[in-house]
Structure 1
Amino acid sequence: MRGQLPISYLARASAPSWLGRHFLLAWHAVILVTSLYPFTGWRYVGEPVFAFLSYPLPYYHTIADNSLNWLAYLPLGYAWAITFRCRWYAPILALLLGGGLSAGIEFTQQFLPDRVASNLDILYNAMGAVCGALLAGLTTKLLIVRAWYVLRKRWFADGALNDFGLTVLVLWLLTQLNPAVPLFGVVVQPQGIPQPWVSPIADALLFLRALEMLGVMLSLLAVTLILVGILAHRRYAAIAIAALVSVSLLVKVIFAGMLLKPTEFLAWFNLNVLMGALAAWALLAVLLKLKRRWQMLAALVSLGLAQLVEALWPLTASSHSMASLFKWSYGHLRDFNGLTQTLSEAWPWLATVYLVWRVARDWRRAAQPTVVTG
């Protein structure tokens, strides 16, 4: 009937979304990584393990640290409130869960070097979780939130597997926050030929440039094909890919301006990155014409080859050389680099799990016989 939504759209709109659960789990991981990195150097200094809870306030106080502690738990409280369907008790549970998680982390931090266990951090973290829960209750009815829901239903396919794929893409964007890492790259910039190392060709520098270009091309193919695989319709592919590349470029530019020294503003970009991206676009023009199960298989192969390129790359970045690019202080830089480095190491495995699952499902469906009725 005219004026009514199609049954297929209503079925998609009523399908439960796993995005909130994926985000909640992912943000827990983000907080744990930034709070406990680098996970080494554990020691016990001999003080009572619960002494930090009774330190006079403010025992350890900086405006930047306290603001970050509050902001870090704001999304967590928001996600918890959404999980609890924004019921009246959601802020109370956010307070208990946020305070409990923060207390556990602060207890653990006293056994790590360069970490300070602080009862004030627990208070700011708990306040951030409560504010996030209250914000969720205030904004769930706003037009911008409803517009996101409509956009999500229109552009992306439903189902737990597709929600997982969308989460994987968001986590990849987080890996691009570090402006010292080349855009779409899996390698560090060559600052010299490592020794001892034997290049497979006479021109070692040419080999490194080709390897970097290949890594960028394969990474871009894997990421964009994952995006194509979770779209609701194939006609959105070109616009979605252009949007993803534009967002990643914008993220790099913003964070490069915020974090890098002016002389290192373009540390994330070079001719090798550009050539690899252009090669990926040329291959995408062909791959986008294939069926989705072949695209997902191509994404899995590209991801595997990108990891091979990373394994072959002979250069490693020292903490001193990386820190020299930034204008941040050591503590915040350590947490930031720890987060992006850990995500960069974990992301290929998460993407591999998604792609293997997706390829197996798509090819199993393709193998099923088609039943014709009527």
Structure 2
Amino acid sequence: MSTAIPLALLFAGLIVYASLFPFSDWSWPSHLGWQEILRLPMPPWRDHFDMVANGLGYAPLGVLIYLAGVRSHLRWPLAWILAVGSASALSYVMEVTQQFLPGRFPSLLDWQLNTAGAVAGASLGGALQALRLIDRWQATRERWFWRRSRGALVLLPLWPVGLLFPVPLPLGLGPSWSRMQDQLVDWLLDVPWAQGLLEWVSDIPVPQDRLPEPVEALGTALGLLVPCLLAYSITRPGWRRVVAGLCLAGLGLATTTLSAALNFGPVHALSWVTPGVVPALQLGGALALLALPAPQRLAAALGMVALALQLVIVVQAPSDPYFAMSLQAWEQGRFIRFHGLAKWVGWLWPLATLVWLGLRVASSERMPPLARR
């Protein structure tokens, strides 16, 4: 099965989340009949940011569905129609469903922009096929990665998405107890039969003291090491792992800088680079370098150990004032829909990665020797 299929399903799920967030206060629009509910109105206002976001948001979905279609042996016209039609239908369903969410407004313009984005994405997929870049990617994947690498190839692009949400410490994905407690209290607050559990959760003390600097440094180092070990678990030893590690390190640093710029403004984009972060990144890079020769299953096992240790550190990290301020900026700004998506990616990525690494350790299949070309 092509990696484009799970990626397309995942991206469609992300679109549903962003379109229907916060999934609360559903109500039936009693003033509207069925025809009015199914008919999308043209909005009286224009927001350039939303217009660009709606135009670009469905383009990746169009590309992924097109690629999934052609990799499933559909002819290119059918794959193109499938990509545009399914993406446009998803957009229409999301716009109609927004009729039942107070504070969300269905828009004919949004549906048109989403469909245009899907057309652009599907057409880009057709151009990639015409240039034979899809076949080249498949050949490159066979030379670089283990045959059953789909899960890791989905998880690795999601890692920087989780980093866009403010994290308790640099590169430290996973929920801190303070944030997890707030989420659990929010869920249990209006559940009558769960009030005992609510009291128990509320009574658990929240970490207040800052973690010792060596522990923070170790958490940051492990945050850099874990995605490298995940990549090593599917990549052939040698220079390919060096390239993968360098690309992941650059992507992680760039994403963390972008997150700081979004939270505090471009002037403070490098505010996360404190004196303690630099040696922590050096430690993470040195550990990733030492792990280069490790066999794939050993790399997966080391990744599980490193990830479990990182989760223990992140859970104990307190929320400092700057962290709380950055969360407020996300939750009250124009990124309110994206902030929830990035938060859940950051919280669930370590758990999904632990499961995948465990399956990789349990697998006895080895990567076949590289054929000479």
TM-score normalised by L of structure 1? 0.76
After TM superposition, the structure 1 stretch with the greater mean CA deviation from structure 2, 129-138 or 330-339, is 330-339
Equivalent position to 2:105, from 104, 112, 116: 116
Tell me the equivalent position of 2:82: 93
Aligned to 1:176: 163
Match of 1:4?
none
**Residue identity (%):** 28
Partner of 1:280: 284
Paired position in structure 1 for 2:128: 139
Structure 1 match to 2:11: 27
Instruction: Kindly provide the CA deviation profile for residues 177-232 of structure 1, in whole angstroms up to 9, marking residues without a partner as x.
Output: 3477754123899xxxxxx96979xxx44x35344223212222221100111113
Written as runs of structure 1 = structure 2, the 5 A alignment for 1:59-74 is 59-74=44-59
Letter in 2 for 1:346: L
Matched with 1:155 is 144
Q: Is the 8 A contact 2:16 2:94 kept in 1?
A: yes
Residue 285 of structure 1, CA deviation: 4.1
Structure 1 residues 271 and 112: CA distance shift in structure 2, 3 A? farther
CA positional deviation for 1:168: 0.7
Aligned to 1:14: none
- CA deviations 1:212-271 (Å, max 9, x no partner) are 223212222221100111113344223321222123223444565566414432243323
Report the equivalent of 1:83.
Answer: 68
Q: CA deviation at 1:174?
A: 1.9
Q: 1:218 to 1:257 in 2, by over 3 A?
A: closer
Change (3 A) 1:317 1:125: farther
**2:310 is aligned with what amino acid?**
A
* Displacement of 1:25: 1.7
Question: Using a 3 Å threshold, how does the CA distance of structure 1 residues 209 and 111 change in structure 2: closer, same or farther?
Answer: farther
Following superposition, the deviation at residue 296 of structure 1 comes to: 1.1
Matches of 2:288 and 2:40, distance apart in 1 = 58
Q: How many residues were matched structurally?
A: 336
Name the CA distance, whole Å, in 2 between partners of 1:61 and 1:19.
Answer: 37
Contact 1:225 1:296 in 2 (8 A): yes
- Shift of the 77–106 alpha-carbon distance from structure 1 to 2, 3 Å rule, reads same
How many angstroms does 1:280 deviate by? 2.3
Is 1:127 paired with 2:120? Answer: no
1:35-74 → structure 2 map (5 Å cutoff): 35-44=19-28, 46-48=30-32, 50=34, 51-74=36-59
Q: Flag the 1:211–1:48 CA change in 2: closer, same or farther, 3 A.
A: farther
Aligned to 1:359: 361
- In structure 1, runs of 5+ residues without a counterpart are 1-16, 190-195, 366-374
| Counterpart selection for 2:152 from 165, 169, 180 | 165
Change (3 A) 1:274 1:45: farther
For the structure 1 residues 290 and 55, does the alpha-carbon distance in structure 2 shift closer, same or farther, using more than 3 Å as the test?
closer
Residue-by-residue CA offset, 1:313-372 (whole Å, 9 max, x unaligned): 23277997126667xx9553112322211210121122122111101114x87xxxxxxx
Partner of 1:105: 94
Q: Which residue of 2 is the match for residue 215 of structure 1?
A: 219
- Would the alpha carbon gap of residues 134 and 285 (structure 1) be closer, same or farther in structure 2, given more than 3 Å must change? closer
